[in-house]
Chains A and B, each alone.
Chain A
Amino acid sequence: MSDNYAVIGKNLPKIDGRVKVTGQAKYTGDLKFPNMLVGKILTSPHAHARILSIDTAEAEKLPGVKAVITHEDVPGLKYGISPARWDENIFCIDKVRFVGDKVAAVAAIDEETVYKALKLIKVEYEVLPAVMDPIEAMREGAPQIHDEYPGNINTEVHQSFGDVEQAFAEAYHVRTDQFIGQRTYQSPIEPHSAISIWEGGKLTVYTSTQSPHYFQYYIAREFGLKMGDVRVIKTYVGGGFGGKLEPTGLEFAGAVLSRITGRPVKMFYDRHEMFAHNRGRHKQIMKVTTGVDKNGKILGVHADFIMDGGAYTSLGIATAYYAGAMLPLTYEFDNYKFDMLRVYTNLPACGAQRGHGAPQPRYAFECHLDMVAGDLGMDPMELRLRNARQPNTVTPNAFQVNSCELKACIEKGVEISGWKDKRGKLPPGRGIGGAVGSFVSGAGYPIYRTNLPHAAAIIKVHEDGTAATLYTGATDIGQGSDTILCQMAAEAMGYNYENMKIVSADTETTPHDFGAYASRQTLMSGAAVKQAGEEVKAQLLEIAAEMMDVAAEDLDCREAWIYRKANPDERKPFTEVAREFFVRRGPLVGRGSYTPPKLGGTFKGAPVGTSPAYSFCTQISEVEIDEETGEVDVKEVWDVHDCGKVINPALLHGQVHGALYMGMGESIWEEVVFDDKGKIVNGNLGEYRLPTALDMPKITSELVDSVEPAAPWGVKEVGEGATIPTMGCFANAIYDAMGVRIHSLPLSYEKVWRALKDKRKKEEKK
C-alpha cells in the first residue's frame, strides 16, 4: 500500500489546542444562561435503608428555592445503560442501595441556597443490613439488594469452547492461580456537569458526555419524548475514560427541575460525588487455570471470575463478558472456558473504565503465565512468543482477527528493552517484566439493539471553497478525535487540514454516531468520514472534468489542488472548482456512514468483544524496589504497539503515555477504599492517589508496521489497549526484582513490604 499521504500520518497540531491552552474553551460548567438556576442532588447517607418518609416542606420554604423534587415528581420508569437490566430510578422509591444513592433534588437561585435547602430535607430511614463484599453477598441469608435478583446475582456467564477438561487431562503441566483486583475510579479532571433547558416540548441538554447519542436515547425514553425533541450538545469535555458514557442524575433530575421551573438548570458533581456516582472499574476475583505442553504451548484455559458490581448494573453486563472474552485474543489455543458472576453489593455501581473489564483479567493471566513459564524453566517472553496469535486467525470465542503483529511487538519489545541482558540478571532490587494485550477497535454491536449505522458524517464545503466543515456525531473528550477526523476528511477530499472546521457531537446539527467508547472512533467514525470526503472529491472532480475538458477518472485532488494525473502541472485550485460547483449545482456536500459487517458467533454473549479489528501490544517495564520499604520506583517502560496505520503519531504516543499513566496508577497506587458502613474513605485527589508528573518514568513508545484490511487506511485503536498489559507487566517486574508475587492490586508499597517480610521469614525457617 502506498504511504504517500498528504494529511494523515502527520503530527499536525490539535484542532482545539489553542482554545484549550488559552482557556477560551468552554466546558459545561463554564456556561451561563439567563435566569439559570443551580441544582443539586440529595443522596443517601446509608449503604442500605428503607425510605420511610421524605419531608421537603422546610426546604421549599427557604427563600431562593425554586423547586424540590423526589421520586413522586419524576417518571418511575427504570433506566440503565444496559438494556438487559434496567434497575435504576431517577430517585429511589422504596430503598436506598449505597451511600450516595439519589433521594431528592433542589433547584435554587444559587449554590449556597441549594446546599442550605438540601440540609432542610428530612428523610426518615430504616437502616437495613448491608453487604459490601461480593462473596458475602452471594451467601445464603445475605441482605437482598434488588428483589428481582435473588442471591444478588446480577449477571451470570458460562461459556465453553472446545474441551478444557480434556486439554487439562492431556497437558504436561496444569496450574491454577488466584488474583484479586481493586475498585478504581476514572477520575477525569473535569467533573460531570449538565445544563438542562426544557422549553415548550423541547429539552436541550448541554453536558459533559462521551456519547450524545446514548444520552439522547435514554433521556427521551425516560420522559416519553420523541428523540427529535431531545437535543444533547457536548461541550468541551475534560476526560471521560468510560465514566461519562451514560446519563446520570444530573441530566434526569436537571430536566425535571427545568420543566417545573421553566428555567435553565445547571447541575454538577463535586469530586466526592463523582466518586460516589462512580461507574469505575469493577473489582474482580480471578481464578485462572492453564494447561500447557512440554514446550509451553497453551492447550486450554479456564477463567473463573467473580466481580463486585455495586448497587446497579450500569454497563456491567458488558464488563462481565468482556472480562473473559478478551483473554484468548493474544494467544492461540482452542479450549477455553469462562465463568463469571457479577454480584450486587451496597457500594457505588461499577461500569466501564478504560479497557473495559479486560485489564484486571489480563493482569491475572499475564502473572499466571509468568508463573507457568517459571515452572517450565522458560523465559516468559519466549512462552508468549510461542503462543502469540497470528494474523488471519479466529479465536475460540469466534472473533475474527485480521491484522495481528503481536509477535513483532514482543520481539521488538524484547529488543529495545534489553530484555535478554536484564531479565534475572539485574542488580538486586531491580527487575524487568513484560505483558501483552489486545483490544477492540470499536464494538461490533451497539449497546442497545438497533440496526442504525455505527457512525455517520457530513462534510459541507464552504461556498467559495476556502473552508470545509465536518459534521460528525463522534465525540472528542480530549483524546483528539476532532483532530484526526479532520485529517481524515482532508485526506479523503484532497484538501488541507488547516482549512478544516468541525462541528461535532450535537444531536441536532450532526449526524448520528455512538460516541467515544470501545476505542471505536478512529476506525468507525473514520470510515464514515472517509466516505464523506471521497464523495466530496468525486463531485468536485466531475465539475473539474467539465471545466478542464478531461475525463473525471483522469483527475485527482490533493492538498487543495485538482490536477491531471498524467500531467500534474495541469491543475486548478480546489477553491475555484468548489465555487464553480456551488454556482452550477448548489451546496457541495459529502455524506458517509459506517456499519460493521456481521461479526461473531451465535452463543450467548457472542457479540461482546467482536470488532472489525484488534490492536495488539507488548509492554515491558523496569522497576527498582526498596527492599526495606517496599517502595516501587518505576524506572522505564517500553510500549510496542500494532495499531494499524497511524493518523497522527503525536496523538497516538500521547494516548500511550496517558494510558500508561492510568495503568501505572491502577497498578501501584489507586484504590477506592470504603469503611465498614460503605462510606468512601478517600473520595478526593489527596488520598485517592493518582500518580503525578514526578512519578512518571521514561517511556519509549514504538510501533510495528501493520495495516488493517477492514479499516479505513488500515487504522486500529490505541486508546484503551495501552492500559491493558500495564498491571501485569509491573507485577512481573516486581517478581523479577524481588522474587515475590503480589496476588492483588494495587501492588502497593506496603504489600510489597509485607511479601518481602514473609519471604524473609520463610527463608529464616529453612
Chain B
Amino acid sequence: MDQFGARGKVLAGGTDVLSMMKQGLLAPEVLVSLKNLAELKQIYADPARGVVIGALATHNDLADSPVLQERYLSLCQTAHHMANNQVRNTGTAGGNLVNAVPSADLPPLLIALGAAVTLVSTGGSRTVKLEEFFTGPRMTVKKDNEILTEIVIPDNSFTGSTYHKFGLRRSGALAVVGVAVAVAMEGDLCRDVRIALGAVAPTPIRAFKAEEVLKNRPVTDQLLEEVGRCAAGESNPISDIRGSKEYRQDMIRVFTRRMLKKAISEGHV
C-alpha cells in the first residue's frame, strides 16, 4: 500500500468497492486483495486484550462465532440482520468499518462496547478507539498506506448490550436509524452506559448527555423515555429517501428507550 498510495485500494469482501467501481464512482489503478491473509479471519478471546475480531471475518463469521455467541450475542444478532445472506458471506467486518458509511450496522454496537481497531502499515502499528476512527461520511483517520487488521473489544463490566437497525423492510434494508446500547447494571441502578447512534449524523455518534441522564438512577420506564428524548435531541440526522429528520429523531427516542430496556433486562442480546 506504501507503494501505491492513493492509487491503490484494499479489497476485502468487495461488496462495497466493486459496486462503487461498477457505478463509476471509484477507479483505483490497483486493487490489493487481503483474501489470502487467513490470520485476519479469526475471532478469539485473548486473555490480555479481550475479544479480537480479525478484519477479514465476514458478517456470517461474526454471526456464527462461538466466542461471540457466548460473550456478545448482540454482535452476532447485529451481523445476522445485515444485508442479505450473499452479502453476509462475503462482506467483512473490517470493510464495514473502513467504508465508514453513516448507516453502517457494526460501528454503533462496537462503539458502545468500547472497541478499538488496529491499523498497520510498513511504519508500524497503532491502535485507535473506534469512537475516534470516523471523521465523516466515508472518511476515517486511516491513512492510505494503512490496513485495518483487527477489532478488539476490551474486557469490560457491561452486563448487557444490544443493537437495533430500524430498516424499512426485513432484509436488505439500510438503517433509517441504528441504536446500540451497552449497560452495566447493579441492581436497578445503571452504573455505566454507552449509547451509540447510526444514520443520524455524518459519523456514528455517542449520546453522551443521554448516558448521563441514565447513570446511577433507578431505572423506570419514565426514566428510559427521558433518556430516549435526550438522545433524540443529541442526534442530528438529515432528511433523505429513507426518512425525514423529524422521523429519524423520533425513532431515536423510541429505539433508545426500547434497546435500553432490552439490554437491561435481557443482557447481551
Interfacial residues, chain A to chain B (CB-CB below 8 A): 628-629, 669, 673, 681-682, 685-687, 689, 691-695, 748-750, 753-754
Contact = CB atoms under 8 A, between A and B. Distances in A.
B14 interface: no
B251 A692 contact: no
Contacts of B241: 673, 681-682, 687
A682 B240 CA distance: 11
A579 B171 CA distance: 57
Contact of A692 (B171, B243, B250): B171
B170 A692 contact: yes
B250 A689 contact: no
A664 B160 CA distance: 37
In the A-B complex, list the 7 residue pairs whose CB atoms are closest, starting with the nearest.
Answer: A694-B170, A692-B171, A694-B171, A628-B254, A750-B247, A695-B170, A689-B169
Given A682-B241, A750-B244, A629 B173 contact: no
B250 A669 contact: no
Given A629-B251, A669-B168, 4 more contacts: A686-B172, A687-B174, A749-B168, A750-B247
Contacts of A669: 168-169
Q: Which secondary structure dominates chain B's binding surface? A: loop
Given A673-B241, A686-B174, A629 B168 contact: no
Interface string B169-193: 1111110000000000000000000
A629 B166 contact: yes
Nearest to A633: B170
B96 to A, nearest CB: 16
A573 B168 CA distance: 60
Contacts of A686: 172, 174
B173 A689 contact: yes
A379 to B, nearest CB: 32
Contacts, number: 39
Residue of A628, A685, A754 most packed against chain B (CB within 10 A): A628
Nearest to B255: A629
Interface string B194-211: 000000000000000000
A693 B171 contact: yes
Contacts of A685: 172
B239 to A, nearest CB: 10
Contacts of A749: 168
Nearest to A626: B254
B247 A689 contact: no
B242 to A, nearest CB: 8
Contacts of B254: 628-629
A689 B174 CA distance: 10
Nearest to B250: A753
B243 A750 contact: yes
Contacts of A628: 254
Contacts of A695: 169-171
Interface in B73-113: 84
Contacts of A754: 247
B83 to A, nearest CB: 10
A691 B172 CA distance: 9
14 contacts: A629-B254, A686-B174, A687-B174, A691-B169, A692-B169, A693-B171, A694-B169, A694-B170, A694-B171, A695-B170, A749-B168, A750-B247, A753-B250, A754-B247
A749 B168 CA distance: 8
Contacts of A681: 241
Interface in B225-264: 241-244, 247, 250-251, 254
A678 to B, nearest CB: 16
A629 B257 CA distance: 13
Nearest to A681: B241
Nearest to A749: B168
A628 B84 CA distance: 27
Residue of B168, B173, B174 most packed against chain A (CB within 10 A): B168
B168 A689 contact: yes
A669 B254 CA distance: 21
A682 B173 CA distance: 13
B92 to A, nearest CB: 19
A115 to B, nearest CB: 8
Contacts of B171: 692-695
Interface string B129-156: 0000000000000000000000000000
A628 B256 CA distance: 13
B199 to A, nearest CB: 13
Contacts of B84: 692
A753 B247 contact: yes
Contact of B172 (A673, A692, A750, A753): A692
B3 to A, nearest CB: 26
Contacts of A694: 169-171
A681 B240 CA distance: 10
B17 to A, nearest CB: 16
Contacts of A753: 247, 250
Nearest to A693: B171
Contacts of B173: 689
Contacts of A748: 168
B73 to A, nearest CB: 20
Contacts of A629: 166, 251, 254
A689 B168 CA distance: 8
A686 B83 CA distance: 10
Contacts of B174: 686-687
A753 B168 CA distance: 13
Nearest to B242: A687
A754 B247 CA distance: 8
A463 to B, nearest CB: 49
Residue of B84, B166, B243, B247 most packed against chain A (CB within 10 A): B247
A695 B170 CA distance: 6
A406 B248 CA distance: 44
B237 to A, nearest CB: 13
B207 to A, nearest CB: 18
Contacts of B169: 669, 689, 691-692, 694-695
Contacts of A691: 169
A748 B168 CA distance: 9
Nearest to B24: A115
Nearest to A757: B250
